[in-house]
Amino acid sequence: MTAALLNSLVTRLSPPPIPAVQAWGKSYTGGHGPLIDLSQAVPGYPPHPDMLRWLGEAASSVAFANYGPIEGETVLRDAYATHMSELYGSKIGGQNVHITSGCNQAFICAAMVVAEAGETVLVTDPFYFNHETTLSMLGIKTGFVGCGSEHGFVPTVEAVEEALVPGVRALALVTPNNPTGAVYSPERLKAIFDVCTKRGIWLILDETYRDFLAEGTGAPHGLFNVSGWEDNLIQLYSFSKSFCIPGHRLGAITAGEAVVTEIAKIMDNLQICAPRAPQIAVARALPALTDWRAGNRLEIETRANALRETMTDLGGWQLAAIGAYFAFVRHPFADKTSVEVAEQLAKKAGILAIPGEYFGAGHTRFLRFAFANADAATIRQLRSRMAIFSL
């Protein structure tokens, strides 16, 4: 008997990193108090009661038990387009919106619609690991734009231009960034977008964490006001964080009508339609829970400030970058890899963090803290544990 082969584009990938990191925590004996999980980016507070009620009503309705429109429920597409228009001060219609089952699926759709196997999509270094693995399993080449700590983990225009070699079809950026938390200014985004339009490539802009920008920030950027933006921009978003419903898997793509039409072909094969019940619930929640979401943004800012205080003069640990949901923390152990440090931090100190190497091999001196998971009081407990931690 000859064994059948599996797809090497998949088998060559490492297992999902977050379950591996969480497994380290099972060896923690609890000597310093409860395990503090800063590994996966999940809201550290529950959904609004009205959201839960709306989800229940929609899920129990016969009206939403069948297949829905591939592009998404019209009521949500229109509500989200209205929200986008108000946020960015631009004119976006429901026809510019495609609803997906989470933002990871939105990225898969975006990658497939712009690039064929063998072509190249650029990501930043450090990168969000699911973006890199998605491209790899699709047979799309991955190029890298360096954005180190000396530039605040934000790519320079020069670095983008240098990476635009023949065969590049798109540049994928995440702002606020995962893993570093770095926020790209509107001016930098516009300059990078100008490079993309000049060179005829797509900018895939993942703004999953935009609802947690600092108070008074204003519009994240003005790209939707650029004439002809539809020819070069695909924007991604997740409803998971702002509405605290990651388990319901709901994301969105904002793009030109031609792109939405092509993505519908992809979605029809991936899932046919995104989950219908959360679409109906979020369509109601978008205008109704504005104040609640604003309060959550302030709560996340409180947690970020607690981490800034906690990391001040902390025995060689350095806060290299912080924003929205994430902090990129430089560890003090020059002779140890980030995997070694993260594993022992979990087992000895009861702190779960993601090794920097998982976001690019060159980031072995860093750990990613998803600080939004924990309240300010819990975050302050990190100081005593990290101060005495040793390898």
**pLDDT grade, residue 157 (50/70/90)?**
very high
Q: Which residues, other chains included, contact 291 with Cβ-Cβ below 8 Å and sequence gap of 6+?
A: none
Each residue of 332-375: pLDDT tens digit?
999 999 999 999 999 999 999 999 999 999 999 999 999 999 99
Helix (H, G, I), strand (E, B) or coil at 77: helix
Structural contact between residues 78 and 94, judged by C-beta atoms closer than 8 angstroms: yes
Could you tell me where the DSSP H helices lie in the chain?
A: 8-11, 17-24, 49-59, 74-88, 103-114, 129-137, 157-163, 186-199, 240-243, 257-270, 276-288, 290-311, 338-344, 376-380, 382-388
Q: Is the pLDDT of residue 244 over 90?
A: yes
Quick one: pLDDT at residue 215? 83
Quick one: pLDDT at residue 78? 98
Each residue of 46-67: pLDDT tens digit?
999 999 999 999 999 999 999 9
Quick one: pLDDT at residue 139? 97
Q: How far apart, in whole angstroms, are the C-alpha atoms of residue 382 and residue 44? A: 16
Q: How many CB atoms lie within 10 A of CB 190?
A: 14
Mean pLDDT value across residues 149-158: 95
Quick one: pLDDT at residue 246? 94
Cis peptide before 287 (omega within 30 of 0): no
Mean pLDDT value across residues 271-282: 97
Percent of the chain whose pLDDT exceeds 70: 100
Q: How far apart, in whole angstroms, are the C-alpha atoms of residue 270 and residue 225? A: 32
Percent of the chain whose pLDDT exceeds 90: 96
Q: Which residues, other chains included, contact 180 with Cβ-Cβ below 8 Å and sequence gap of 6+?
A: 126, 153, 320, 321, 323, 326, 328, 368
In degrees, rounded to 5, the angle at the alpha carbon of residue 326 between the alpha carbons of residues 185 and 351 is 165
Beta-strand relationship, 120-125 and 168-174: parallel
Quick one: pLDDT at residue 216? 84
Q: How far apart, in whole angstroms, are the C-alpha atoms of residue 136 and residue 133? A: 5
Q: Which residues, other chains included, contact 52 with Cβ-Cβ below 8 Å and sequence gap of 6+?
A: none
Quick one: pLDDT at residue 391? 80
DSSP character for 352?
Answer: E
Each residue of 27-51: pLDDT tens digit?
999 999 999 999 998 888 999 999 9
Each residue of 69-115: pLDDT tens digit?
999 999 999 999 999 999 999 999 999 999 999 999 999 999 999 99
Tell me, rounded to whole angstroms, the distance of Cα 27 from its chain centroid: 29
Picking from 361, 372, 276, 272, the residue whose alpha carbon sits closest to that of residue 322 is: 372
